[in-house]
Amino acid sequence: MGDQRKKSAKAFKKAEKVIPGGVNSPARAFSAVEMDPIFIEKGEGAYLYDIDGNQYLDYVNSWGPMILGYNPPQVIKKLKEQLKKGTSFGAPTEIETEIAELIVDFYPAVDKVRMVNSGTEATMSAIRLARGYTGRDKIIKLEGCYHGHGDSLLVDAGSGAATLGIKGSPGVTENTAKETIVVPYNNQQAVEKVFTEYGSEIAGIILEPVTGNMGVIGPEPGYIDFLRKITRKNGALLIFDEVMTGFRLARGGAQELYKIEPDLSTFGKIIGGGMPVGAYAGRREIMDYVAPVGPVYQAGTLSGNPMAMQAGLATLKELKNKKIYTQLEAKAEKLEKGFKKNIEELEFPAYFNRVGSMFTLFFTAKKVKNYQDVKSCDQKLFAAYFRNMIEAGIYLPPSQFEANFISLALSEENLDQTIAANYQVLKKLKAEL
């Protein structure tokens, strides 16, 4: 194993000397799967190619954005056009209004949108706005949800922090952390208890309505409805972090799927079409609390950057076509059926969970409903599964605490190949159990 990735191994050694851990985001480290990260040369449709020339079927989608696959011609065309005009002006362009209009169109809960440069910035700003608007300090966050690395939200966070077993982070002051109250996902009583104790101090609840950053877990029936009611009753804001789920689970995100109007929504990933973008959005009276109209300050030199806006806009224009979501659902369903059949036939202790085109194969025999359930998964077994899938030419997120993504570029044959690889790998692991 590994001989066919000599160049990656060398590139990693070199990177480690000048970049902490050799990666610019911990989620890219392969430490949990006991491998060196794979260095990428290029992407094309459903495939990634590493610098050693190996080809992989991709289920990471750059962690979500590449819903159309790599290098969709419509997006590349717009980027090329913009390149000729200039890459940044620090002044308004019409593209920004156009993309905001699209988001407003697809999200009934959204009247106004402010563009930023990452999902982290989006949630950080949304939290500041929620606090400023309500005049309250405390935030409720759900265990295992990841909302970027802003101080207030880096408490019991998912994704890379969960993979590395980091509960909080040095550098986040105790005073900041204590304003964030963490409760388990899918647990109504825990939220009720917090409101009973702190009711008038709670600025809002932020959540991934369907989680991706502790693996894919959907809300139990009634849970989201309950959150909407209890926040409204207590004058707190309901904040949907749709950085991952926005334009992914449906054109109108999880809020369309569960028919709930949050007060604030955050976006990222897909809305940048592969460029660095984030956004926070919501009802007019809340969004008008942001500078320059309102007192809550938030700014950005490269916010609404024309290259990023072009990539995002071209992507969202493709997603206007609702048929895309029917196609994604069909692909995802095919994969689900295949994986579940494999698990059943091999009597393998695994639990497959999927919402739309996001899925996770959990290495546990029981149903996964929250972060504690994910933590009880067999990480060693996951790591072995991951490495074997890589050998089979299938590129997955290198952690049990992540979502896998299905892109539009995956063909029937690609899915069949993946299901067959899944069978062979599970069979091999089962024999070793």
Ligand X SMILES: *Cc1c(COP(=O)(O)O)cnc(C)c1O
Which is nearer to ligand X, 79 or 154 (by Cβ)? 154
Which range in 36-44, 132-140, 240-248, 327-335 contacts ligand X by CB under 6 A? Answer: 240-248
Angle ∠(34,40,46) on CA atoms, nearest 5: 100
Active site residue 146: yes
State the minimum distance, in angstroms, from the CB of residue 412 to ligand X: 28
Residue 373 contacts ligand X per CB under 6 A? no
Which is nearer to ligand X, 22 or 278 (by Cβ)? 278
State the minimum distance, in angstroms, from the CB of residue 123 to ligand X: 5
State the minimum distance, in angstroms, from the CB of residue 1 to ligand X: 30
Residue 119 contacts ligand X per CB under 6 A? yes
Active site residue 241: yes
Extract the runs of DSSP E, i.e. beta strands, from 117-222: 138-142, 180-183, 202-207
State how beta strands 47-50 and 55-58 pair: antiparallel
Residue 5 contacts ligand X per CB under 6 A? no
Residue 161 contacts ligand X per CB under 6 A? no
Furthest CA-CA distance within the chain: 64
Which is nearer to ligand X, 243 or 381 (by Cβ)? 243
CB < 8 Å & 24+ apart, contacts of 389-392: 389/421, 389/422, 389/425, 390/35, 390/38, 390/56, 391/1, 392/421, 392/424, 392/425
Kindly report the number of other CB atoms within 10 A of residue 199's CB atom. 15
Residue 218 contacts ligand X per CB under 6 A? no
Interacting residue with ligand X among 61, 152, 213, 418 (CB under 6 A):
213
Residue 123 contacts ligand X per CB under 6 A? yes
Q: Are 208 and 244 in contact (CB under 8 A)?
A: yes
Interacting residue with ligand X among 148, 252, 338, 397 (CB under 6 A):
148
Residue 212 contacts ligand X per CB under 6 A? yes
Neighbouring residues of 34: CB distance < 8 A, sequence distance ≥ 6: 383, 387
Kindly report the number of other CB atoms within 10 A of residue 229's CB atom. 12
Active site residue 17: no
Which is nearer to ligand X, 32 or 381 (by Cβ)? 32
Interacting residue with ligand X among 8, 118, 125, 364 (CB under 6 A):
118
Q: What's the Cα-to-Cα distance from 315 to each of 211, 229, 244, 276, 298, rounded to whole Å?
A: 23, 34, 15, 14, 26
Q: What's the Cα-to-Cα distance from 411 to each of 60, 73, 298, rounded to whole Å?
A: 16, 17, 43
State the minimum distance, in angstroms, from the CB of residue 323 to ligand X: 25
Structure tokens at 255: 């809020």
Q: Which residues bind ligand X (CB under 6 A)?
A: 118-120, 123, 146-148, 208, 212-213, 241, 243-244, 268, 278
Catalytic residues: 146, 241, 269
